[in-house]
Structure formats: structure tokens, C-alpha cells
């Protein structure tokens, strides 16, 4: 009987001790941490699931966002328009009176400045036929000229041209010694754009000086064409 009572008391004490141990360890079987750990655990528990908290700055300094860097880019300077354009072309001229026929073929090069002024030079070949009461006199002339055009309204221009020509004549199989003559032509004309850089021109000029090559004042009609570069 005493043995049974002792055994019961021992079992009861063991049960009480086991229950105290379970209460101390908690539900997860480990002893609870100190107060600071419990506090951190409580703070962590307040963060909703799936949201990652930003780690605190180790130095306690909040970094400001880097301001954007603005670089001022200046517009590239626009190229200056050219002073002018080179023109290459030529003309075919003719003149006729009651007793005189004149033909002129002249390649030319010029420089158009600001679409207003155009100085240039010309190589000249001319053929003439003078109908006299006797045998005709035929002349072959080579030379050159310097000219200046001034555009007054659009492509309408006035022109002055100085000539220096070397010529010789033939009549009935006889040739005269070649001579050099100068003259000045004055007149005007009109340029016709043909599209792109091509153009055509028409001019009418008269000679201001009379000599053996130009025995009278007469009009010279010239038709030409060329290209601008």
C-alpha cells in the first residue's frame, strides 16, 4: 500500500514538472528569446506577407537622387550661301543687212554674283560676207571679249561687251593681210531657266564703233545656252 502511494506521488510530481517544462519552452519547443528579440519579432510580424521591407541605411544617411545632367548643345552654324555660281555655255549669233551677212560662234565662261552681276569672257569665231558691186568679200575672224551683265528685273539683263578681234579677208582668190580691230557692243537680253542648272539666253546688241570690220552700226542677235555650277 505504501509502495502504491509512493509511486502515485512520484508520477504526479513528474507530470507537474513536465507540464512546467512545456509551458516554458512554448509551442515550438524552444525557449523564448529576450524582450528585444520579441519586440523585433513583433515588428517583423507587422509587415504584410509578400512585402519586402527596405533595409535601413547603415550610416543613417538618406541618399538623394542624382539630378539629371543637362548638356547645352549649340546648333551647328549654317553654311553660308556661296557668293555666286560659275556658268559655262556658248552662243550663236548672226546679223544681216542688205549687203552683209555675219555669223558668230562663241563659247563663254562667266561667274554670276548674287544673281545680279555676271562678268565673263568669251572666245569668238566669226564669219562675214560683204556683198559689194564687185566680187564678195569673205572674212574669217578669231578673237576674244570681256563682257559684263547686270540683271535689272528678274532674268532681264543689260550687257556691255568689249571685243578684240583679228581678221583677214579674201576676194576673188586674193587675201588681205590680217589686222586686229576692237569694238564695243551694247545691248541687253533675257535668260530662260530650263530646269535644274541649265538655261538659255537671247540677246540683242549693237556696235558703237565703226571701222573696216564694222563699217556700219547694226544689231547683233545672239542665242545661247549653258549650265550653272
Would the pTM of this model clear 0.75, i.e. be above it? no
For residue 211, pLDDT over 90 is answered with no
Instruction: Dump pLDDT digits (tens) for 78-88.
Output: 788 788 999 99
More confident residue, 12 or 156: 156
Give residue-wise pLDDT tens across range 167-183: 988 888 888 899 999 99
pLDDT attached to residue 27: 47
Is residue 68 over pLDDT 50?
yes
Domain boundaries, the chain: 84-228
High-pLDDT (> 90) share of the chain, %: 40
Above 50 in pLDDT, residue 4? no
More confident residue, 106 or 65: 106
Overall fold of domain 84-228: Porin (2.40.160)
- How much is the mean pLDDT over the chain? 78
> How would DSSP label each residue in 32-77?
---HHHHHHHHHHHTSPTT-PPPPPPTTS-PPPPPPPP----PPPP
Amino acid at each position: 500500500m505504501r509502495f502504491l502511494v509512493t509511486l502515485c506521488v512520484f508520477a504526479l510530481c513528474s507530470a507537474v514538472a513536465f507540464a512546467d517544462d512545456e509551458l516554458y519552452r512554448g509551442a515550438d519547443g524552444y525557449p523564448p528569446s529576450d524582450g528585444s528579440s520579441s519586440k523585433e519579432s513583433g515588428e517583423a510580424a507587422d509587415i504584410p506577407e509578400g512585402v519586402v521591407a527596405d533595409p535601413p541605411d547603415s550610416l543613417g544617411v538618406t541618399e538623394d537622387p542624382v539630378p539629371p545632367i543637362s548638356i547645352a548643345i549649340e546648333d551647328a552654324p549654317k553654311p553660308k550661301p556661296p557668293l555666286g555660281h560659275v556658268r559655262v555655255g556658248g552662243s550663236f549669233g548672226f546679223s544681216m543687212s542688205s549687203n552683209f551677212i555675219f555669223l558668230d560662234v562663241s563659247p563663254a565662261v562667266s561667274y554670276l554674283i548674287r544673281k545680279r552681276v555676271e562678268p565673263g569672257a568669251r572666245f569668238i569665231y566669226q564669219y562675214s560676207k560683204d556683198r559689194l558691186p564687185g566680187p564678195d568679200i569673205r572674212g574669217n575672224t578669231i578673237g576674244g571679249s570681256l563682257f559684263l551683265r547686270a540683271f535689272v528685273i528678274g532674268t532681264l539683263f543689260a550687257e556691255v561687251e568689249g571685243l578684240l578681234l583679228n581678221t583677214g579677208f579674201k576676194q576673188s582668190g586674193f587675201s588681205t593681210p590680217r589686222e586686229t580691230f576692237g569694238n564695243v557692243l551694247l545691248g541687253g537680253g533675257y535668260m530662260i531657266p530650263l530646269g535644274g542648272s541649265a538655261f538659255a539666253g537671247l540677246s540683242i546688241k549693237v556696235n558703237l564703233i565703226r571701222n573696216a570690220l564694222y563699217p556700219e552700226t547694226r544689231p547683233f542677235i545672239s542665242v545661247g545656252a549653258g549650265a550653272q555650277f
